[in-house]
Amino acid sequence: MKYSDRQLAEMLTGAGVRPSLHRLAVLSTIANDRCHPSADDLYRRISEQYPGVSRTTVYNSLHALVDAGLVKELKLERGVSHFDFLLQPPHGHFICSHCGRIFDMGLPPELADSADPGFRIDAIDLNFKGICPDCLAKQQ
């Protein structure tokens, strides 16, 4: 499923964020490629489309999108954040130790209930680590 720039622009205005060219480019890359890019990945991708864009602009855009609730920041490894589109059922992630790719994984439906009583659960991060099918096939 691909989101048109018009759809994405509407999401932005709907969330009270002005749909500037750069913000739209950042959101479109996150929403349509679903590759969980880091800020630097995004900077390089956006640079191809808009040469001369500032790294700070990419960070600014990301903050705006995260604050607007359209994008989720994933803290999977120390030091680097990755970014995921939020318009879809909640899901976890799988990080392949071999190729580094990040895959979406379904969340067990009653996971929130497994927390101790008395805690108010607002968000769940579930991350698997291991080897993805592609790398398993290549390995042996």
Partner DNA sequence: TATAGATTTTGAAATCGTTACAAAGTTACG
Partner DNA sequence: CGTAACTTTGTAACGATTTCAAAATCTATA
Q: Give yes or no for residue 20 binding DNA (CB under 7 A).
A: yes
What is the spatial distance between Cα 96 and Cα 128, in angstroms, rounded to a whole number?
9
Nearest CB to its own copies, comparing residues 45 and 82:
82
Residues 103-122: x where in contact with its own copies by CB under 8 A, - otherwise, as a string: x-xxxx--xx-xxx-xxxxx
Residues 63-102: x where in contact with its own copies by CB under 8 A, - otherwise, as a string: ----------x-xxxxx-x------------x--x-----
Count of Cβ atoms closer than 10 Å to residue 127 Cβ: 14
Nearest to 45 by CA among 27, 72, 63: 27
Nearest CB to DNA, comparing residues 80 and 136:
80
Query: What's the closest the beta carbon of residue 33 comes to DNA, in angstroms?
Result: 17
CB 94 within 8 A of CB 105: yes
What is the DSSP track for 54-87?
A: -HHHHHHHHHHHHHTTSEEEEEEETTEEEEEE-S
User: Where does this chain bind DNA (CB under 7 A)?
Assistant: 17-18, 20-23, 38-40, 50, 52-57, 59-61, 63-64, 78-81
